Amino acid sequence: MKFYYKYICLVALVLSSVSCKKYLDVTPDNLGTLEYAFRNRNEAENYLFSCYAYMQRMSDVATNPGFTISSEIIYPDNLTNYQGFNTTGFNLIKGRQSSASPGLNIWDGENGSYSLFRSIRLCNILLENIDQPIDLSSSEKQRWIAEAKFLKAYYHYCLFRMYGPIPLIKVNLPIVSSTEEVRVKRASTDEVVDYIVSLLDEASVDLPSVISNQAKELGRITKPIALSVKAEVLATAASPLFNGNPDYASFKDKDGVNLFSTSYDAQKWKKASDACLAAITACEAQGIQLYTFTPPVIIGKLSDSLKKVLTIQNAVTEKWDENPELVWAQSPTFDYQGSATPRLTQKATINVFSNPSTFSVPIQTQELFYTDKGVPINEDNTWDYTNRYTLKTGDEPSRFYIKEGYETVKAHFNREPRFYADIAFDGGIWFGNGRYDQNTAYHVQSRGSESFAGPKDMIRLNSTGYWPKKLVNYLSVYDENFSPVPFHLPIIRLAGLYLLYAEAENELSGPTSPAVYTYVNKVRTRAGLPTVQTSWTNYSKNPGKITTKDGMRQIIHQERRIELCFEAQSGWDLRRWKELQSVLSSPLQGWNVYEADALNFYRPRTLVNPVFGIRDYLWPIKDNNLVVNPNLVQNPYW
């Protein structure tokens, strides 16, 4: 769906409605009035699109902490706002965060982000004025109200997962509000979640189950989207960060009210489980299903291994209207395929602007993926974990994954299909980029500055020797002519919902619940892996892991990190699980990319020593806000 920013000028009066006295300035002349904005159906619809506007801004993964702080991607430290690319998010794990100037500040709309409280005010204004257009049908009115309620809930949710307890902006305050009325307080996390869920419940009733006119309305909210977001909200609320977190047991407002629940509540997982099942049921009723790649006419015979790779890759990069797995995706298309693509030809090295190749995957992320037996690389009793960095030459059995005769490392052999679909590496096969014969496919050459994909200068640089291949449509071409095929990055897809349901069921009942194995295995089967029972029983050094709640928790968490890798989800998952501090406790490393010789290239070097402590699980509120509004309290440890 296309959103039209030009209509936002019609709602300038929003700046005088709530939060802080700085929004009570005199409105400039020549701005549209609310009466004009809601004078008829067309103008009101334009206003509705302005309520969607922040969803478009959120499509930029560079400003999404779920992407930039997940440890999945490293961005060259020497580049700052290169070609308009905002590097603030990538710098946060380097300790460049303070309460004086928070990065990606969605509270105030500063340092690479946009104020969500402003977006919430837009939704409130629409809800207050939706009765004005006399030519608006009752059915459309109900739908638009539902959309505004959903967006209002979602914006509150985005604030909640970053800041925890937040002020609830249920209605806009009048311009004549007193100073004390404007000084809003933070609601407790339980109150915030209850309010978000209530809005989603109200919205779900009047949202369409499916978008019938996709040419004009694809991207607008549906009932399956609302139910899926509800499931995610409740799973977040049930997770360790928010459910009886001892780190926040003494966190209170200035009236002594606890802002976090002080004890663990297992029933929160029950609510999450029920919501997950309801979302899955609604999605499947509309034909949403796991994606399977169907080769187009331009592609000849494909091996089963390449079909599986393209199934996994296209589950993310397929067109939205042709991808049955997408529940919800970003409305604008993903703009960074050139950053995720290694240079594959001499001609591709010429245009730094189209193929900068700067999204670098650390070794730590590469090692997250399973072996071909479906277990972690350090658990597989058939895989040589100790000698994984020793050299090995591509052979005939691996020819569709690794260039035959090319020298690489043992770590790249005998890995699961998602590894080859998600990550490009030195010697790895790259199917596509204009070549659709599996026998003549490109392979990545990244050793030293003389190689196509190697570093050319301090700008055209992939600092690790790995690329997020998953973020590139296989039909995109980066050669003499740069022709990316656009796609919409998923926000929610069915595989993620399946794993969220398995997680909730495991937290409730452990693996005694049949749904735990069933829904994990649905995802694993599509990924070309044995069932979790088969893999751990036959190939794991710890076969009993699948029989306990703790063991299955570890498996499900790793499964989500693998399945949803590079989709701006893992950073949020690691945060709600309180595992991000552990993940970022180790240096992020890459290969010695300046070396041309394989023996010297495959030597790990540290690129980032992350800085992440307990305080970083919640964002700081900017210090100035605490001065302007003395009813606010700062998040712990800031």
Identity of the residue numbered 428: G
> Is the Cβ–Cβ distance between 499 and 520 less than 8 Å?
yes
Are the C-beta atoms of 452 and 424 separated by less than 8 Å? no
Q: What is the pLDDT of residue 566?
A: 98
pTM here is 0.93
Instruction: Give Cα 46 to chain centroid, integer Å.
Output: 28
395: left (phi over 0), alpha (psi -120 to 50) or beta: beta
The tokens for 523 are: 């995802």
Amino acid identity for residue 288 in this structure: I
**Which pLDDT does position 9 carry in this prediction?**
36
Model pLDDT, residue 458? 76
pLDDT for the residue numbered 297: 87
252 three-class SS = strand
| pLDDT score at 87 | 84
Contact status, residue 426 vs residue 444, Cβ threshold 8 Å:
yes
Which one, of 453, 448, 449, 450, lies nearest residue 428 by Cα?
453
Residue 355: phi and psi, rounded to 5, are: -135, 60
| Cβ partners under 8 Å of residue 62, min gap 6 | 68, 85, 86, 87, 88, 89, 90, 112, 336
46 close to 201: Cβ distance less than 8 angstroms: no
Look-up of token digits 């340092």: 111
CB-neighbour burial class of residue 158 (10 A; exposed 0-12, middle 13-18, buried 19+): middle
d(CA 202, CA 145): 10
The helix/strand/coil state of 389 is coil
Which 3-state string (H, E, C) describes 427-476? CEEECECCECCCCCCEECCCCCCCCCCCCCCCCCCCCCCEECHHHCCCCC
pLDDT at 457: 80
Give which of 208, 265, 198, 256 is closest to 237, Cα–Cα.
265
Residue 360: per-residue pLDDT: 97
User: φ and ψ at 360, to 5 degrees?
Assistant: -110, 125
Could you give the CA distance from residue 327 to residue 172 in angstroms, rounded to a whole number? 31
**Residue 22's pLDDT is what?**
33
Cβ–Cβ < 8 Å for 327, 225: yes
SS3 assignment for 151-180: HHHHHHHHHHHHHCCCCCCCCCCCCCCCHH
Segments in the chain below pLDDT 70: 1-32, 78-85
End-to-end CA distance of the chain: 40
By the 8 A CB rule, do 411 and 423 touch? no
500 φ/ψ angles, rounded to the nearest 5 degrees: -65, -40
Which residues, in sequence order, are CB contacts of 305 under 8 Å at separation 6+? 400, 401, 417, 420
With both helix axes pointing from N to C terminus, report the angle between 138-163 and 41-51 in degrees, rounded to the nearest 10: 20
Q: How many Å apart are CA 561 and CA 485, to the nearest integer? A: 26
Residues in the chain: 638
